[in-house]
Amino acid sequence: MRPSIISGLVVTSNLLIGLNLPAQVVLSGGGYLETFDDLGDGLPSGWSVRTGADASELGSVAVFSSAHANWGNTGGSFKNLASVTGLTSSTTTETQAAAVDRALGLRQTELFGDPGAAFILQIQDTLGVSGFSVSLSAEMANVQGRSTLWSLQYALGSSPVAFTTLTTWADTAVFGATTVSANLPPEVEGQNENLWLRLVALNSATGTGSRDMIALDDFALSYSIAAVPEPGASAGVACAVLLGFAVWRRSRGQN
């Protein structure tokens, strides 16, 4: 192989590593739960945070800082926050920094994510999987004057351009967590293609003043996976079929 070609492959590889492209989640038995408690190590597998998302676009992958941030941080970005669960709006920054229960946070600004911010999960496929339902904890960590309507949506395909809204959540003027849940339709079941789930701000925030600090926590999927026959059972069925065929052939030969 020519040195120039090798150099080109190395450069391309480095670029791909720099993009930190997320792996896809592979569903297994027992359901799926992401608590975001390990955000200090980066985003979980299959997750991305994006800006510029709209009705037909996933948006551009945004930077995520794994450093602990406090609820009063005003910089526009996706953040590693303490979950509001078990805490109060007056919880000190020291207590927030020490909290092991973490949440994937966001502060929108006029120039960042308003509109177009999105929390996105990419699933490899849904082969053999049915009966999907989703739930998440939508958290208000810092209440301000502006409010955003968030849409929980799904889409199918490697690069989807059409998303379906399952339900919505409006960040309210109350500190705390709200459970957002929905059932997915049968069309997502048994598909040999990506399933995307996202919480996205499709419209600009309303109201006056600053924007809220929100967070996503305890994202859960429940579903059923079709049982796979035991190898011994499959072999037994095959033997029975072959034996029956042999008996039939013998009976035909005797007639």
Q: What is the pLDDT along the chain (255 residues), one digit of tens a residue?
A: 443 333 333 333 333 333 445 589 999 998 999 999 999 999 999 999 999 999 999 999 999 999 999 999 999 999 999 999 999 999 999 999 999 999 999 999 999 999 999 999 999 999 999 999 999 999 999 999 999 999 999 999 999 999 999 999 999 889 999 999 999 999 999 999 999 999 999 999 999 999 999 999 999 999 999 875 555 544 444 444 444 444 445 545 554
CATH of the domain at 118: 2.60.120.200
Say what the pLDDT of residue 72 is.
98
Question: Does the residue 4 lie in any domain?
Answer: no
- Whole-number Å distance between alpha carbons of 126 and 123: 8
Residue 97's SS3 state is: helix
Q: Is residue 247 part of a domain?
A: no
Looking at residue 23, its pLDDT comes to 87
Q: Which pTM was predicted?
A: 0.82
How big is the CA angle at 247 (ends 246 and 252), to the nearest 5 degrees?
A: 100
**What is the domain extent for residue 87?**
22-230
Query: How far is 75 from 78, CA to CA, in rounded Å?
Result: 9
Give residue 228's pLDDT.
58
Q: Is-contact 139 177, C-beta < 8 A?
A: yes
pLDDT at 172: 82
The residues with which 130 forms a beta bridge, in sequence order, are: 224
Whether 173 is covered by a domain: the verdict is yes
- Is the residue at 245 inside a domain? no
**Residue indicated by tokens 């069309």:** 187
Beta bridge partners of residue 246, listed in sequence order: none
Q: What are phi and psi of 186, to 5 degrees?
A: -60, -25
218: burial class by Cβ within 10 Å (0-12, 13-18, 19+)?
buried
Domain assignment present for 3: no
In a domain, 253, yes or no: no
Q: How far apart are CA 79 and CA 66, in angstroms?
A: 7
Give the number of residues written for the chain: 255
Amino acid at 125: D
Q: Give the pairing type, strands 102-107 and 213-225.
A: antiparallel
Give the C-alpha separation, 244 to 249, whole Å.
9
Task: With respect to residue 28, please indicate whether it lies within any of the assigned structural domains.
Answer: yes
Residue 75 lies in a domain: yes
Record the tokens describing residue 171, joined without a space.
Answer: 């960040």
The widest CA-to-CA distance across the chain, in whole angstroms, is 94
What total number of domains does the chain contain?
1
Between CA 34 and CA 188, with CA 52 as vertex, the angle to 5 degrees is 50
